[in-house]
Structures are given as structure tokens and as C-alpha cells.
Structure 1
Amino acid sequence: MGKHGKRKALDELQLELLRLQYWLRRTGKRLLVIFEGRDAAGKGGTIKRIVETLDTRGYRVVALGKPSDVEAAQWYFQRYVAHLPAAGEFVLFDRSWYNRAVVEPAMGFCSPAQYEAFLDAVPGFEKLLADDGIILLKYWLAVDQEEQERRFAERASDPLKRWKLSPVDLAARQKYAEMGRLRDTMIERTHADRAPWFVVDFNDQKRGRLDLIRHLLGQLPYQDEDIPAVKLPRLKGKPKREQVTAQALKVPGHKA
């Protein structure tokens, strides 16, 4: 599929995502999608494409930073609970409570006891969410180390992308195999019908985005939802010019 074909496919999927949003709003369903995966796999770009054409009043993207001292002393899941979806809402987590399943143990940010306690607690926590009616889907974006290194080098050489490389990302480069083992354990112990894991190949980012969005749409029964038609009433009188009463911004070399 060429560049034009991928863009056309994305446009079609974005229309379906809008239908999904109307379905959520009409039914009051709550949708929570978790995006985990390798550094530089494409989590942020995928989320951006998903929400690009959605009504901003119907979705939220949650990307929490390092917990504060107060948050670190709370129940581990507490700071995430505040961001769960309300009725009719679509929430996308750019990383989530699963930091404690892969990144934290690999980098020594949690103790072995905290790690084991987390894996024991997750199934029960997610069961509570599902039993309360939240639709929960979890995606791991996979990328080979060689491709990951190429993307790291691209980011390092581009001043507009360097912010994407955190000190943790750089240190984690040496932990590729260990993180893979931790990922496998995470999926084995936390996959459930009510909170399933899906692994998506993101060595080709654009193809991966299309595959993930298509799969996401296939998990939900929104297909009969229509986007309401809008009929513009006839405008009375002639169109008016904008009347600027405050000081207008004047751009040098530009004629209004």
C-alpha cells in the first residue's frame, strides 16, 4: 500500500472512529484503551491519529508523568482512578499503571515485592472496572531493536524531536531483552477476556497504526451508528463583514 493508499485508509478509519464516538455518546458506554510498548514504537503518533478528527468534548488523552511524593505514598492505582472515563467518554492512556510491570522493575524504580504485589493486584482491579461497565482494551506496540535504534538516532539528530528522548529512554536502551521478558510475564499474568492484551507489529509505523485502529474498531458493536446529518438553514440578509472594535493585530507586510 502506497502513501496515498495509507492516507485514504486512515481517512476511512477516522470516519469510523467518529461513528464509534457517536455510539459511545448515545449509549453512555465508557471506553478505556491503554497503549504500552517499546520506546519510540509510536504510541503518541497512533493516539494523535485516533483523536485527530474526534469531538474534543468526548475524549481525553492521559499521559501522567513521574508520581509526586504524595502520589508515591498513595495506593498505587489511586492517581489513575481519577482519569477513568465517564459515561459516553473515550479515554486513551499513553502508558498507564503498567509502568510497574515493565519499566519500573527493569530500571530498578520499584522493589521486587512491589512488582509482585502489582501483578497480583491488577486482575482484581481490572475486574472491578469491567464489572462496573468500563470497556478496557490494552495494546502493546512491538518494534525490533534495530528499528528502535534507528528511530532513536533520528530523534537525537532532530532538534524538534529530541524532547522525546528522556534520560529513562536512553538508559533503557540497554534493557531491551529484559523488558521483553517482563512484557511476556505481564501479558501472561494480566490478560483476561474482560481486559485483553493485543500485540501489534509497529516496525512499520503507518501500517501498525492502521492495523491497530482497524482492530480497535472491530472490538466494539458501533457499526449501525450513523453520523447525524446537518441541514444549514438559509442565511437571512447579506453576509456581514467582521467588525473589529479592539486593536487588530497588524502583521508586517500583510494587507488585510
Structure 2
Amino acid sequence: MIDNQDELLRRIHNDLMDGYDEEIEMEIEDRHVDELSQGLDPLTLASQKESRRVYFRELFRLQAELVKLQDWVVATGHKVVIVFEGRDAAGKGGVIKRITQRLNPRVCRVVALPAPNDRERTQWYFQRYVPHLPAGGEIVLFDRSWYNRAGVEKVMGFCTDEQYEAFFRDVPEFEKMLTRSGIQLIKYWFSISDEEQELRFLGRIHDPLKQWKLSPMDLESRRRWELYTKAKEVMIARTHIPESPWWVVPADDKKKARLNCIAHLLSQMKYSEVERPPITLPERVRHEGYRRHQVPGEIYVPQVY
């Protein structure tokens, strides 16, 4: 718990600033990184400006490497599945955004499945995940995965003890099947502290742009913190196998977590840069009789800005 009110407000403010940084990242394309430290709040400490500058510089560098990785995956027909698990507000979505931000969505796609419907609840547990697995030359990122059974379903009582035990019997074999089929499976657990989750939930409560992220299930998970801890410990102990080990990402610092996770992901594949043929923009063909038709003014979007 955060007892000091001033410290609490300061931490919430910094968390909101991180949210604004996220939007800056999504808007900025390839602007020179030194420009990013301009125009910040004059009260921002010089060390904070420098850390932001370093963060953006490293983020752009790693994203350039991700583009190289993508080209290599396509050229070699490699198949990759990346599983992202962790507590609510641990930062999984943030790192997924940074990984996919500059990649081709036809090559690298995100799977975030809703709760199973009535029909899916009668299927083989892994069945609804199988259609989303990659073909050659594809990368699939699971924003939560089949490990829901070991986490939220166990803690919230959405599965029976028999289903829970069956999952642990089946998941190692399922993942071994995936790896034998040529799929590289990488599993990340984003780890945050009790205090940090409290802070992030409070930040969402006070930020109208993020309140939608808080569901009744998220709030209940806060109350059941210790049960989730126990479930996570059992999950990792029983599913950490040589074919698909778990990798834990310390995530109390969101920016460091993103950079560390992307750097580690890149280290998991011996990719190389694929040479691209030089691109020349062709001359536009012009026809003497071509005339552009006037677009009716009433169908234009109003120029409010």
C-alpha cells in the first residue's frame, strides 16, 4: 500500500505521463530522436528528459531490428508464437504495441481472444487457439493465451479441479507438438509488484481515457492478489519445459520492461538482414485526354482542424 498522499499523487502523475508518452510514440514516425526532448514540461527534471531521450533512441533502434527479423521470418518461412502473460496492468499490451508498431500486420498479428462462448466451452480446451497458429513466414503474438486456465479460470472458479489438472497434463504435450511442427514458442510472464499494480489501477481510475481498461474482473483480481500469486507459481513450476521455457520480465518500470523484452525476443532467433533490391519510383503515366472529375463538396469531411 502507498501511505504517503504526496508520493501517491506524484506516482499517479508519472504514470499518466507514461500514458502520454505512449501516444507520442504512436504518432512519431522517424523523426530525429534529439527532437523528442524538445517541448517537454519545463518543470521536468533534466534526468527525466535524458531518460526519455535514451528510451526513444533505444526503442527506435530495436524496432528497426524487429523489421529485419520480420524480413528474415518471411524469407525463411520461420513460424513464431509469442505468449504474453501477467497480472492485469502488468504492461503486456504496451510491449505488444511496440513490437507490432512498425511491422506488417499480414506477417505479425495479435490474437486476443474473448471469454469462450457456450460452444467453445464444450470443445477440446486448446481447440479455439489452434486456428490462430502461424503458417510459414508468420509471427503470432498471444495477448493472454491457453494459460487462462492456469490463472484467471483457476482463481475465479471458472474451471473444475479436474479440468485444471487435465490442463497441466496436456499443455506440455501440446507445446511439444507445436515445437515439433516447426513453431518456435516463446513465453513471457510480466511481473509487477503489489504496490505497482495498485498504482496503475488508480491511474486508470483517474484517467478517463483509460477507465475502459478496468473491468469488474480486473477489480476482483486486485482483491485476490495472493491467490493469483499462488496460481502463477504453480503454473510456471509445472509448465517450464525445455521445449518452451518461461521468461520473466520485471515490469515495474514499463519502459525498461518494453526494451528488455524486445531485446530478449530478438536474441531468441539467429536472424540476419535480408537484402532488398533497390526501389525506384516509376514515372506516373499521363494521358492527354485524362480529366479529374470534380468531387461534390458536400461529401468532404468538415475541416474542423
Q: Classify the TM-score, shorter chain.
A: over 0.9
Contact 1:19–1:226, Cα closer than 8 Å, also in 2 = no
Residue 135 of structure 2: aligned partner? 86
SS at 1:35 equivalent = strand
Residue 74 of structure 1: aligned partner? 123
Are 2:262 and 1:175 equivalent residues in the alignment? no
What whole-Å deviation, never above 9, does each CA across 1:69-128 have from its counterpart, x for those lacking one?
A: 000010000000010011100100000000001111111111111111101100000010
Call closer, same or farther: CA 1:20–1:252 in 2, change over 3 Å: closer
SS at 2:83 equivalent = strand
Deviation at residue 233 of structure 1 after TM alignment: 3.9
More deviation in 141-150 or 158-167?
158-167
Contact 2:151–2:231, Cα closer than 8 Å, also in 1 = yes
Call closer, same or farther: CA 1:72–1:223 in 2, change over 3 Å: same
User: Which residue of the other structure, out of 130, 147, 156, is the alignment partner of 2:196?
Assistant: 147
Contact 1:22–1:227, Cα closer than 8 Å, also in 2 = no
Q: How does 1:40-55 map to 2 (within 5 A)?
A: 40-55=89-104
Greater relative contact order (CA < 8 Å, ≥ 6 in sequence): 1
Gap regions ≥5 residues in structure 2:
1-49
Deviation at residue 191 of structure 1 after TM alignment: 1.2
For the residues of structure 2 that align with 1:227 and 1:203, how far apart are their CA atoms? Answer: 39
Structure 1 stretches of at least 4 aligned residues deviating more than 6 Å after TM superposition: none
Deviation at residue 150 of structure 1 after TM alignment: 0.6
Deviation at residue 227 of structure 1 after TM alignment: 5.2
Call closer, same or farther: CA 1:226–1:204 in 2, change over 3 Å: farther
What whole-Å deviation, never above 9, does each CA across 1:31-84 have from its counterpart, x for those lacking one?
A: 000000011011111101100000122121000001000000100000000100
For the residues of structure 2 that align with 1:231 and 1:185, how far apart are their CA atoms? Answer: 56
What whole-Å deviation, never above 9, does each CA across 1:14-34 have from its counterpart, x for those lacking one?
A: 011011111110011110000
Call closer, same or farther: CA 1:151–1:254 in 2, change over 3 Å: closer
Call closer, same or farther: CA 1:217–1:247 in 2, change over 3 Å: same
Paired AA for residue 191 in structure 1: H
SS at 1:79 equivalent = coil
Residue 259 of structure 2: aligned partner? 210
Residue 166 of structure 2: aligned partner? 117
Call closer, same or farther: CA 1:244–1:105 in 2, change over 3 Å: farther
Q: CA RMSD in A?
A: 2.1
For the residues of structure 1 that align with 2:148 and 2:181, how far apart are their CA atoms? Answer: 24
Paired AA for residue 71 in structure 1: E
User: Which residue of the other structure, out of 26, 36, 39, is the alignment partner of 2:75?
Assistant: 26
Call closer, same or farther: CA 1:122–1:254 in 2, change over 3 Å: closer
For the residues of structure 2 that align with 1:244 and 1:44, how far apart are their CA atoms? Answer: 45
Deviation at residue 225 of structure 1 after TM alignment: 3.5
For the residues of structure 2 that align with 1:245 and 1:56, how far apart are their CA atoms? Answer: 35
Paired AA for residue 143 in structure 2: D
For the residues of structure 2 that align with 1:41 and 1:244, how far apart are their CA atoms? Answer: 53
For the residues of structure 1 that align with 2:292 and 2:148, how far apart are their CA atoms? Answer: 53
Instruction: Report the identity percentage.
Output: 50
Contact 2:176–2:243, Cα closer than 8 Å, also in 1 = yes
Are 2:233 and 1:184 equivalent residues in the alignment? yes
Call closer, same or farther: CA 1:205–1:236 in 2, change over 3 Å: same
Paired AA for residue 172 in structure 1: S
Gap regions ≥5 residues in structure 1:
none
- TM-score normalised over the length of structure 2: 0.78
Call closer, same or farther: CA 1:222–1:253 in 2, change over 3 Å: closer
